[in-house]
Amino acid sequence: LSNGLMQAPIAWKMAAGWTDLSQQDLEAITAAVSAHVQAGFAAERTVQEQIEAQEDLTGFDLQTAFTAALNASQ
């Protein structure tokens, strides 16, 4: 929208039906999605570093490690 590729309002389908998004609405969604993706990558990096530091992965709980890393980044 800011580059003029599209014009607001933007038709968007929600769980409850259709709505029209403004540029401000779309920017808020974009920011939330970007933050979510970045948190996932940061958690993955943390867990990768934990794995690489281990000599023996017996007992290493990947899901627990990822969940903890993800929660710590939020």
Which pLDDT band, with edges at 50, 70 and 90, does 73 fall under? confident
26-66 pLDDT tens trace: 999 999 999 999 999 999 999 999 999 999 999 999 999 99
Which pLDDT does position 28 carry in this prediction? 94
Is 13 among the domain residues? no
Is 1 among the domain residues? no
Is 38 among the domain residues? yes
Q: Reply yes or no on whether the pLDDT at 6 is more than 90.
A: no
Is the torsion defined by CA of 33, 34, 35, 41 positive or negative?
Answer: positive
Residue with tokens 């940061």, as numbered in its chain: 42
Domain that holds residue 40: 23-72
Is 67 among the domain residues? yes
Which pLDDT band, with edges at 50, 70 and 90, does 5 fall under? confident
| The total number of structural domains that make up the chain | 1
Residue with tokens 């970045």, as numbered in its chain: 38
